[in-house]
Chain A
Amino acid sequence: MNRSAAARAVLALLALVPLVVVAAAVGLSLGAGNVSLGAALRGVDPDATVLFRLRVPRVVLAAVVGAGLSVAGVALQALLRNPLADPFVFGLSGGAAIGAALSVAVTGTVLGAAGISAAGWLGLLPTQLAAVAGALAAAVLVFTLGRARGRLHPERALLVGVVFNSFASALVIALESVLAPEKTQAVLLWLAGTLGYEPEPVLLAAGAVVLAAAAVLTALAGRLNLLALGDEGAAALGVDVEATRIICFFAASAAVGAAVALTGLVGFVGLVVPHAVRLVAGPDHRVVLPASALGGAAFLILADAIARVLFRGLGTEPPVGAVTALLGAPLFVLLLRRRT
């Protein structure tokens, strides 16, 4: 495989763009009721409304979240030199859960009303706002506690993140026991990763955040490769290890924060997509990062389409987070077995 990184990246993207297009076509054509594309393009209702107001935003939402979680997963796995790292490893899932649970707890109080107006101003639901605030607060906390003697120690931050996630789930269980069950049920279901229908400005803003994070991380991809040599090895090749870590950490957290705001905690994407891409394309982050963005987008669009179709008969939809794991785990094992 004696091709340059640029050539391999282009090849990977050429292979993946059609995949995203196919996934989007599947996502747009599936759903409750049939839509005629011709009618929709001519502006005939209800086809046009269903396609452009419902299905297109939904597919874009899945693409943004899938891409964001996947690039964050790649970045954090490289940063921690740990293949098991997922986008929520730095305490983000725990922080989101605390935020969401608190937002339910304060419903009906003055604080709750303030939360509703603040969230409404951003075009979000109070739970969404609280979850993303909790996730980002957790990231900052873990980042702060992961520093010692003026340096970020990834292993230390990882431990703090894991401990914080456990602490958070205990706190959420304690909150649940005092709150009305139907209230917490709804929040927890949303937290499990649910794709809904977001207002356009929110969708665009989240898309911009994810795109910017993906661009920053791809620009750092060469340095992420060098981090595999160890801190000293990377430094000897001219890498500012500390700055690379900090930028990566915050770019990944921003992408995850955007995803959490839109959908809660969609698990497994950030773990399975990067590994699947690596199995096919090798370990070079200059290829893996952009390829994971596209792969993650396609994966989540398809997972969402499957969630909508399979459970249509029951008149409900499982959280897409459940589908990603149901779909991703066997797919991953299959890839792993074919490779070795």
Chain B
Amino acid sequence: MSKALLAVDSVRYRHGPDSPEAVAGVSLRVDPGEVVGLIGPNAAGKSTLARIACGLLRPSHGSVRLRGDEALALHRRERARRVAFLSQDEPADLPFTAREVALMGRAPHLGLWALEATGDRALAAAALAEADALDLADRPVAQLSGGERQRVFLARVFAQDAALLVLDEPTAALDLAHQVMLVAAVRRRAQRGRGALLVLHDLALAGAACDRLALLRAGRMLAEGRSLDVLRPDLLGEAYGTQVDVVPDPATGQPLVAPRIPR
């Protein structure tokens, strides 16, 4: 069996000595070819778990392996070649152009003076095209709209060319067409033996985009499995503390999730 792109084993983490555990013993795995969705209410520990998976936070217990190697023991640059991370709050006021930001994704691959070669520039341009941001290439990121900026940061993550993508709410600022574009791009990568861990709030999108879902609540794994097994009214109701209807999409059979809004 090939090595998992990501193997998180019973990790625990607290943000400060006096704060409660944000992640309280969670295990998670992303295999080559897999797109895994991380869902759950606010403050469930999704973003913290995503950072732990990237080696950006050091768990107090448990281990994180990237392709079999302990994430925190890897050299930083090697780690950045294995996993790319998109944060929920990327900076808005960057003076750099979209192309320069996409090229930043090449940083873990560059040498001493951090000068990129023609190949790096081609990869950055391809990444911009994949994120539908090629027409923004020469504009400063600070002048772009929120959704455009998000596409530029996605291009940076694509250009990083890591086997595993960890994207924290990648669709938050995107319109419908670009959400579809993002999912398609991530799935294309999965078909080539890569993988992704996506933190998502849109449950229907999560069900449609991901091979497996992991439902977190209060730092613990409430359910994990195929989307049909996780997107159940009883589980979601328990996790979010509100009534939820789940109906199969008449066209695809995918679960559609609708909160019941009192009026």
Binding site for B on A (CB under 8 A): 1-2, 4-6, 218-219, 221-223, 225-226, 228-230, 232-233, 235-240, 278, 282-284, 286
User: Contacting B56 at CB < 8 Å: which of A225, A235, A286?
Assistant: A235
In the bound complex, do residue A5 and residue B104 qualify as a contact, i.e. CB atoms below 8 Å apart? no
Given contacts A1-B138, A4-B121, A228-B91, contact A238 B113 (CB under 8 A): no
Residues of B within 8 A of A286 (CB): 113-115
In the bound complex, do residue B85 and residue A229 qualify as a contact, i.e. CB atoms below 8 Å apart? no
For residues 67 through 120 of chain B, which have their beta carbon under 8 Å from a beta carbon of chain A? 76-81, 84-85, 87, 90-91, 94-97, 99-100, 104-105, 107-108, 110, 112-116, 118
In the bound complex, do residue B113 and residue A233 qualify as a contact, i.e. CB atoms below 8 Å apart? no
| Cβ of B63 to closest chain A Cβ, rounded Å | 19
In the bound complex, do residue B104 and residue A225 qualify as a contact, i.e. CB atoms below 8 Å apart? yes
In the bound complex, do residue A239 and residue B107 qualify as a contact, i.e. CB atoms below 8 Å apart? yes
Residues of B within 8 A of A2 (CB): 99, 137-138
Q: For the complex, is B227 an interface residue (Cβ under 8 Å from A)? A: no
Given contacts A237-B105, A238-B79, contact A6 B115 (CB under 8 A): yes
In the assembled complex, 8 residue pairs joining A and B whose CB atoms fall closer than 8 Å, in A order, are A4-B118, A5-B116, A218-B113, A221-B114, A222-B107, A222-B114, A229-B94, A238-B76
In the bound complex, do residue B87 and residue A233 qualify as a contact, i.e. CB atoms below 8 Å apart? yes
Pick from B54, B80, B104, B137 the residue with the most CB of A within 10 Å: B104
Q: For the complex, is B48 an interface residue (Cβ under 8 Å from A)? A: no
Q: For the complex, is B150 an interface residue (Cβ under 8 Å from A)? A: no
| Cβ of A172 to closest chain B Cβ, rounded Å | 37
The 10 closest A-B pairs by CB, nearest first: A222-B114, A238-B80, A238-B77, A283-B95, A238-B108, A236-B85, A237-B107, A238-B76, A6-B115, A237-B80
Residues of B within 8 A of A238 (CB): 76-81, 107-108
Residue of A nearest to B166 (CB): A236
Residues of A within 8 A of B100 (CB): 225, 283-284
Q: For the complex, is B160 an interface residue (Cβ under 8 Å from A)? A: yes
In the bound complex, do residue B116 and residue A4 qualify as a contact, i.e. CB atoms below 8 Å apart? yes
Residues of A within 8 A of B121 (CB): 4
Inter-chain CA distance A230–B87, complex, in Å, is: 10
Given contacts A4-B121, A238-B77, A284-B100, contact A228 B113 (CB under 8 A): no
**In which size bucket is the chain B interface?**
35 or more
In the bound complex, do residue A240 and residue B115 qualify as a contact, i.e. CB atoms below 8 Å apart? no
Given contacts A1-B138, A235-B76, A236-B84, contact A284 B96 (CB under 8 A): yes
In the bound complex, do residue A4 and residue B115 qualify as a contact, i.e. CB atoms below 8 Å apart? yes
In the bound complex, do residue A233 and residue B91 qualify as a contact, i.e. CB atoms below 8 Å apart? yes
| Cβ of A261 to closest chain B Cβ, rounded Å | 29
| Cβ of B173 to closest chain A Cβ, rounded Å | 17
Inter-chain CA distance A282–B113, complex, in Å, is: 18
In the bound complex, do residue B113 and residue A237 qualify as a contact, i.e. CB atoms below 8 Å apart? no
Residue of A nearest to B100 (CB): A284
Apart from the given pairs A4-B118, A229-B104, A233-B90, 19 other A-B contacts in the complex at a CB distance below 8 Å:
A2-B137, A4-B115, A4-B116, A4-B121, A5-B114, A218-B113, A219-B113, A223-B114, A225-B96, A225-B104, A225-B114, A232-B87, A235-B56, A237-B108, A238-B76, A238-B79, A238-B81, A240-B76, A283-B95
In the bound complex, do residue A222 and residue B80 qualify as a contact, i.e. CB atoms below 8 Å apart? no
| Cβ of B225 to closest chain A Cβ, rounded Å | 29
In the bound complex, do residue A226 and residue B104 qualify as a contact, i.e. CB atoms below 8 Å apart? yes
Inter-chain CA distance A218–B90, complex, in Å, is: 25
Inter-chain CA distance A6–B94, complex, in Å, is: 21
Inter-chain CA distance A283–B103, complex, in Å, is: 14
Residues of B within 8 A of A223 (CB): 114
Residue of B nearest to A229 (CB): B91
Inter-chain CA distance A286–B108, complex, in Å, is: 16
Inter-chain CA distance A226–B94, complex, in Å, is: 11
Pick from A1, A221, A225 the residue with the most CB of B within 10 Å: A225
Residues of A within 8 A of B79 (CB): 238
Inter-chain CA distance A179–B2, complex, in Å, is: 78
User: Contacting B76 at CB < 8 Å: which of A221, A230, A232, A239?
Assistant: A239
Inter-chain CA distance A282–B100, complex, in Å, is: 11
| Cβ of A278 to closest chain B Cβ, rounded Å | 8
Inter-chain CA distance A5–B110, complex, in Å, is: 12
Residues of A within 8 A of B87 (CB): 230, 232-233, 236
In the bound complex, do residue A228 and residue B84 qualify as a contact, i.e. CB atoms below 8 Å apart? no
Inter-chain CA distance A33–B140, complex, in Å, is: 51
Inter-chain CA distance A193–B51, complex, in Å, is: 48
Inter-chain CA distance A228–B142, complex, in Å, is: 12
Inter-chain CA distance A2–B116, complex, in Å, is: 13
In the bound complex, do residue B91 and residue A230 qualify as a contact, i.e. CB atoms below 8 Å apart? yes
Residues of B within 8 A of A283 (CB): 95-96, 100
Inter-chain CA distance A2–B81, complex, in Å, is: 25
Residues of A within 8 A of B104 (CB): 225-226, 229, 237
Inter-chain CA distance A240–B75, complex, in Å, is: 10
